[in-house]
Structure 1
């Protein structure tokens, strides 16, 4: 793949001139290399590495329009994932619409075409098994391409507090989270601590599914679904198993102390940001990066439920992802 080798050489030269890092000719900043890929690799699907340090082979795209979902922020080109993740999203959208009174899913970032570190935003979403879903229900009409870039998701919190606004929260929000957590292949769901607290205070009856609902920074306008490592991915690294309790205990109370929100002290000496290189990822990721892909967008594999009638949005927008500002939050391992 001559063009990819030239890209790496150019990146190496640029970084060497700036003194930022000394790398081999075939190495380079992983987010630049994976962010430049507009199409997936061919072959069997395989998630390699950890959610925050890996890549994806054989990814498929979630169509930007379905009867019960719409993809947002198309310029990022992040509606790719493991086929089982795409199937899960389509299933969740249908089930929630039919059984939970949820009009449809607004889907945010899943992964890049070949996974890997992203140019902006997430530390995870690298192996095609993570997906962000807005807590704003889908409208009755398709958004235009421009609206999908500009429409803002609504926060579920009351002002600047850590608590859910009761005027925004509905039983359908809880039902949607319960539906997603009820799928066996779902490993975790990240939400804002205030949303977890709201569930702890209001959910009646069976609460076993709440073990999967994990509080985390951000996630006040969307929730983050994480799937387990899937069959056929022997190099996928799983997280430690979750407990069996509902999570409405001291571990949740900690989020409502000052400690999680305390700013880290300023370093006494300047610290160079660490750049994740291709060589830092599992070795298989270099092969996935160089693997052949579809010759054109017409050969891309999509999920099964595409419905683009009445929409001015193309089936996929493979443009280079734009740098989209995201809210700053404390970085901590999930």
Structure 2
């Protein structure tokens, strides 16, 4: 694929199929960048298996690959069932042809709430069954939600390399409820919920959690997000409930759509993504 210069964020980079043979670098921001020297996550390992492998989205920065493997081992030793690993990044990062705006620099990974007791064939992994844990209309969890899901989120959030974990607002609400119960009980364990700050409510994310790592030390071209505001973030749940449960206002069809803002990728991505 011949990529015109400058490279912009509205041009899908899905046809770039090979990794670069240079040192690993996350370049740009999570939603506008590229990835040099990616590692491929082996399609199966201790405590995990990669799903939808035909998408070619199982490449990441070495720190992300290491995180996935260690996290899977940790959960496998305590709970047994293996993780289903969804989208990470493409071989050189960049913009997906469909699905996500982020996942561009190899530091994001989708980890599904459905677990697998045994290794599945690649063919079966192409069409995995989603486990939606949220009743969207009632703004509450459904019967698919389990204690193991809360523990999975907690363990990921405790890792210092993790910057954010995106989950459905209803899931965040449940985690906040648990935190409040502990706090009201007067237990000294209330401080243990400081990890909640990393768990951020976002649209969708009802059948997987989206884990995002900090920029690796030394990757000077990588741009971290601003850290979340101090505190648990539980005060935002009311806003989300109004957004997701409220009546949508009719759109004005006579109004001209606003021009789409096109973000130019970092100049270092031009050679990588051509």
**TM-score, scaled relative to structure 1:** 0.73
Once residues 72 and 182 of structure 1 are traced to their aligned partners in structure 2, the CA distance between those partners, rounded to angstroms, is: 25
Matched with 1:253 is: 238
In the TM superposition, residue 260 of structure 1 has moved relative to its aligned partner by 8.0
In the TM superposition, residue 129 of structure 1 has moved relative to its aligned partner by 0.5
Secondary structure in structure 1 of the residue aligned to 2:116: coil
**From 52, 55, 78, the counterpart of 1:73:** 52
Once residues 159 and 188 of structure 1 are traced to their aligned partners in structure 2, the CA distance between those partners, rounded to angstroms, is: 23
Extract unaligned runs of 5+ from structure 2.
183-188
Q: Residues 196 and 85 (structure 1 numbering): CA distance in 2 closer, same or farther, change over 3 Å?
A: same
In the TM superposition, residue 274 of structure 1 has moved relative to its aligned partner by 4.0
Q: Does 1:201 find its partner at 2:193? A: no
- The CA RMSD over aligned residues, in Å, is 2.3
Matched with 1:63 is: 42
Once residues 159 and 224 of structure 1 are traced to their aligned partners in structure 2, the CA distance between those partners, rounded to angstroms, is: 18
Matched with 2:265 is: 281
Q: Residues 33 and 134 (structure 1 numbering): CA distance in 2 closer, same or farther, change over 3 Å?
A: closer
Per-residue CA distance 1:282-307 (angstroms, 9 max, x = gap): 101012225xxxxxxxxxxxxxxxxx
Once residues 271 and 244 of structure 1 are traced to their aligned partners in structure 2, the CA distance between those partners, rounded to angstroms, is: 36
Secondary structure in structure 1 of the residue aligned to 2:35: strand
Q: Does 1:151 find its partner at 2:151? A: no
Once residues 86 and 77 of structure 1 are traced to their aligned partners in structure 2, the CA distance between those partners, rounded to angstroms, is: 15
Once residues 131 and 198 of structure 1 are traced to their aligned partners in structure 2, the CA distance between those partners, rounded to angstroms, is: 22
Once residues 264 and 47 of structure 1 are traced to their aligned partners in structure 2, the CA distance between those partners, rounded to angstroms, is: 41
Structure 1 or 2: more strand by fraction: 2
CA contact (8 A) 1:102 1:137 kept: no
Secondary structure in structure 2 of the residue aligned to 1:54: strand
Q: Does 1:112 find its partner at 2:90? A: yes
In the TM superposition, residue 170 of structure 1 has moved relative to its aligned partner by 1.7
**From 162, 182, 206, the counterpart of 1:220:** 206
| 1:28-107 to 2 correspondences below 5 Å | 34-99=13-78, 101=79, 103-107=81-85
In the TM superposition, residue 33 of structure 1 has moved relative to its aligned partner by 5.8
Once residues 217 and 102 of structure 1 are traced to their aligned partners in structure 2, the CA distance between those partners, rounded to angstroms, is: 30
In the TM superposition, residue 30 of structure 1 has moved relative to its aligned partner by 5.4
Matched with 1:162 is: 139
Once residues 168 and 105 of structure 2 are traced to their aligned partners in structure 1, the CA distance between those partners, rounded to angstroms, is: 23
Once residues 111 and 206 of structure 2 are traced to their aligned partners in structure 1, the CA distance between those partners, rounded to angstroms, is: 11
Once residues 80 and 139 of structure 2 are traced to their aligned partners in structure 1, the CA distance between those partners, rounded to angstroms, is: 25
In the TM superposition, residue 236 of structure 1 has moved relative to its aligned partner by 0.9
Number of residues of Structure 1 aligned to a counterpart in Structure 2: 263
Extract unaligned runs of 5+ from structure 1.
9-24, 291-334
